[in-house]
């Protein structure tokens, strides 16, 4: 493959990864605010940290299930 194309591919992958990270962070903030407004989540650092930990665990479980279903 041409070096120019390889460089462009690497740049696009880096931009895509940054976008995915920002998208996840925005989604997280929107969820936190929505749950605080609805009264389902207290606006304390400990409650928000626990919510984020549980959310990350759930995301990891879903990813594991998707990988397992693809392997089957």
DSSP result, the chain: --HHHHHHHHHHHHHHHHHHHHHHHHHHHHHHHHHHHHTSS-SSHHHHHHHHHHHHHHHHHHHHHHHHHHH-
Confidence of residue 13 (pLDDT cuts 50, 70, 90): confident
Q: Residue 6: what pLDDT?
A: 87
- pLDDT for 17 beyond 90: no
- pLDDT for 1 beyond 70: no
Considering the chain, what is the average pLDDT of its residues? 89
Q: Residue 30: what pLDDT?
A: 92
Mean pLDDT along residues 40-54: 93
41, 48 Cβ separation under 8 angstroms: yes
């Amino acid at each position: 493959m041409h070096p120019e194309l390889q460089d462009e591919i690497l740049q696009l992958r880096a931009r895509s990864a940054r976008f995915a990270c920002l998208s996840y962070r925005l989604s997280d903030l929107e969820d936190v605010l929505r749950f605080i407004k609805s009264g389902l989540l207290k606006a304390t650092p400990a409650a928000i940290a626990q919510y984020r930990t549980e959310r990350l665990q759930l995301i990891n479980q879903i990813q594991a299930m998707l990988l397992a279903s693809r392997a089957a």
